[in-house]
A and B are shown apart, each in its own frame.
Chain A
Amino acid sequence: MNTRVILTIIFISFGSIAAMLPKQKISSIQLEADDLLRDIKLRTHLVSTDELADLLINHDPTLLLIDVRDSVEYGKYHLPGAINIPLKELLDEKWLPYVDQLSKHNIFYSNGTILSSEAGILCRQLGFKNNFVLEGGLNAWFATIIKPEHPGSMATSEELDQYARRKAASMYFTGSSAATDQNSAPALPPVPRKKKKRVQGGCS
């Protein structure tokens, strides 16, 4: 009898402490400094210009390009189908359905890789999934896809293959770029990730 009472008290006390612990989000665990450093070293968040060219040519429906430069630069030129989220506004409420979601693969880009990787790192740290960064940005896109350079007479067959693919991609993008820009419908906001309702009640 006595033991049961003690046991009950112990269970209740552990239970009440557990109930008062800060809530942990399971769906989006925030990353910490060591996790992020490891990710950056492994370069898992980077997408090459060749991979992007494939995705665009195949009209991958899950692709969403996000231009993080300011609206003036975006207005002058942007990749086909890209939306504009200036880096400054990245975490604004109105863009959350785009950056914190599970249905699309976002690729951030800028002129180089600094602005876009800042966007990528901050999103990753907040636990947002499916956000990638175009390695080398528009500069690399133009250097490798739009104006590919012949690898030279000493090139290996792999390099020649890559050059042939890039040359074909170049014709695809420069030949029909004006048409795709006008015809493509503006990207619709993806379905926002459903947030699980937190359990109500407790000691609040």
Chain B
Amino acid sequence: MKHLNLIALGGIVIILGILFGIATIRITSKYRFERSAQEMLERVTSESKQLSLIEAAEWVDNDDVVFIDIRTPKEFVGFHIQNAVNIPYDRLLDDDYVEFFNNDQKKIIYGTSSVGANAVWLILTQYGYENLFALDGGAADWIKHVENKDIFSEGHKGDEAALYDYATVMEGEDE
């Protein structure tokens, strides 16, 4: 009888323990942000973390700088900026790269377009990594303007540059 009671007691304690574990699992999640959204908002509106193609091109042969290609391995094999490393989106937070992201090198993130690179910049910086920059232009822009030395002839416009005089276009269309 006494034994039965002890077994029941043990069972209850174990069940409670498991319930507890489930209830607290999100609190101890591994990928929590280091910085608040408010802090990041101040950073995105005050800091210049975007590098134009011209600015970034100057850093290609520099050992203190590394380019991070966030596209798929297949795209990376097709073309990548020289000496770039390939870390696709879903592997950026892997344990293998923690040390890499914490070293002193300046890191320039690029992808298919400015938007992906910028989003990854925002998330990784909020996650706590420093010394990150985002390329304002994608791999295709790089080929066109840097590999083919087209920088000064046309000039690559950043993602947020207005490509039209919006108000004038609308007035013109009215007539």
Q: Count A-side interface residues using an 8 Å CB cutoff.
A: 52
The interface residues of chain A lying within 8 Å CB-to-CB of B167 are 76-77
Q: Is the CB of A40 within 8 A of B161?
A: no
Q: Whole-angstrom distance from the CB of B30 to the nearest CB of chain A?
A: 8
Query: What is the total of A-B residue contacts with beta carbons within 8 Å?
Result: 137
Interface residues on B, range: 35 or more
Binds A, one of B32-40, B52-60, B76-84, B102-110: B32-40
Binds A, one of B61-69, B115-123, B145-153: B115-123
Nearest to B45 among chain A residues (CB) is A88
Q: Is the CB of A36 within 8 A of B123?
A: yes
Q: A33 CA to B120 CA in the complex, in Å?
A: 10
Q: Is the CB of B33 within 8 A of A32?
A: yes
Q: Is the CB of A117 within 8 A of B115?
A: yes
The interface residues of chain A lying within 8 Å CB-to-CB of B41 are 87-88, 90-91, 118, 122
By Cβ-Cβ distance, the 7 closest A-B pairs, closest first, are: A112-B159, A174-B173, A77-B166, A77-B167, A33-B31, A112-B160, A34-B31
Chain B residues near A (Cβ < 8 Å): 5-6, 8-9, 12-13, 16, 20, 23-24, 26-27, 29-33, 37-38, 40-41, 44-45, 50, 89-90, 92-93, 113-116, 118-120, 122-124, 126-127, 136, 158-164, 166-167, 169-170, 173-174
